[in-house]
């Protein structure tokens, strides 16, 4: 499965209330620093959160949506310094969630918390 297709499936799984650990693990092993642009394009292509929700009380979708953003951030953080160097290119994106991913990735105070959300997949 292509990385973009895997990311689409991962978003669908998260929104459905499932944490696709096998898919995250597969992406972790597959992505390279050269894929940072693709990962960030996936964040930039996200629709407004309300478009994913089933109703006004759909906490599951909201939680999944933000876990997806954290998972993409974790994938980039896991790539290390070569990927971090590319993040500056994305600070000008206008999507409301892109700046958060840039912040999470560039500020190491967030790294441990984000990486720990995925059941040891990103453990050293």
Binning pLDDT at 50, 70 and 90, where does residue 1 land?
confident
Would you mind telling me the total number of residues written for the chain in this entry? 124
Number of H-type helices and E-type strands within the chain = 7, 0
Per residue in 51-91, pLDDT (tens digit) is: 999 888 899 999 999 999 999 999 999 999 988 877 766 66
Model confidence at 26: pLDDT above 80? yes
pLDDT at 88: 67
Q: For position 119, what pLDDT does the model report?
A: 83
């Amino acid at each position: 499965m292509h990385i973009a297709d895997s990311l689409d499936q991962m978003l669908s799984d998260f929104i459905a209330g499932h944490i696709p650990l096998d898919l995250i693990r597969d992406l972790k092993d597959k992505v390279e620093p050269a894929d940072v642009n693709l990962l960030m394009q996936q964040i930039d292509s996200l629709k407004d959160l309300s478009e994913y929700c089933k109703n006004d009380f759909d906490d599951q979708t909201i939680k999944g949506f933000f876990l997806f953003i954290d998972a993409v951030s974790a994938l980039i953080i896991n790539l290390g310094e070569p990927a971090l160097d590319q993040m500056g290119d994305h600070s000008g994106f206008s999507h409301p969630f892109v700046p958060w991913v840039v912040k999470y990735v560039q500020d190491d105070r967030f790294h441990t918390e984000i990486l720990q959300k995925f059941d040891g997949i990103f453990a050293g």
